[in-house]
């Protein structure tokens, strides 16, 4: 079986390259926001998937490592993917959708809630292409009232 890359795959190819990022994170309701820096290298897997390998500063010190996978399923028009990080044991499964203008990819997932009580919460990672050399990642969690609370914004700038 051979699949030719389509429009959805070509959008993902725009993420290929080396990136530096600065993240602004909420560390809790009574704590000030903190800024962290890192890098990510994104490569293609057969023109159908991308794999992003990142590393960056962690709250409290140390370096965290991450791996992102994203693809496009022409049968559903959705963007499946995964995210794992060295700082947690949860495998994040993504189900993504593209906005009509083709600039914003919203990745829905479920993961451990910030409550720390073992419950799960709904999350979204939103990737916005500001230009070919800049993208913004916004992470948010769904609140009990159904609204979304942003807790992290990262600006990525292409270095190669």
3-class state of residue 81 by DSSP: strand
Of 96, 97, 140, 94, the C-alpha closest to 121 is: 140
Q: Taking the model in full, what pTM does it have?
A: 0.94
Region 92-102: mean pLDDT is 97
Of 53, 94, 72, the C-alpha closest to 11 is: 72
The correct CATH number of 7-158 out of 3.50.50.60, 2.40.128.20, 2.40.30.10, 3.40.50.1000 is 2.40.128.20
Q: Residue 116's pLDDT is what?
A: 80
Average per-residue pLDDT for the chain: 94
Kindly indicate the confidence band of residue 115, based on its pLDDT and cuts at 50, 70 and 90.
confident
31: pLDDT strictly greater than 90? no
% pLDDT > 70, the chain: 99
How would you write 82-113 as a 3-class SS string?
Answer: EEEECCCCCCEEEEEEECCCCCEEEEEEEEEC
Pairing of strands 63-71, 148-158: unpaired
């Amino acid at each position: 079986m051979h699949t030719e890359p389509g429009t959805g795959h070509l959008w993902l190819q725009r993420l290929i390259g080396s990136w530096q990022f600065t993240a602004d994170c909420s560390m809790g309701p009574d704590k000030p926001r903190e800024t962290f820096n890192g890098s990510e290298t994104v490569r293609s897997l057969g023109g159908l998937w991308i794999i992003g390998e990142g590393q960056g500063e962690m709250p409290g010190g140390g370096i965290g490592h991450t791996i992102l996978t994203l693809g496009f399923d022409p049968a559903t028009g959705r963007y499946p993917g995964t995210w794992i990080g060295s700082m947690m044991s949860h495998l994040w499964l993504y189900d993504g959708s593209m906005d009509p203008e083709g600039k914003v990819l919203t990745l829905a997932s479920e993961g451990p809630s910030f409550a720390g009580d073992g419950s799960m919460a709904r999350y979204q990672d939103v990737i916005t292409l500001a230009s070919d050399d800049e993208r913004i990642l916004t992470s948010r969690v769904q609140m009990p009232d159904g609204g979304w609370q942003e807790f992290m914004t990262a600006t990525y700038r292409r270095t190669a």
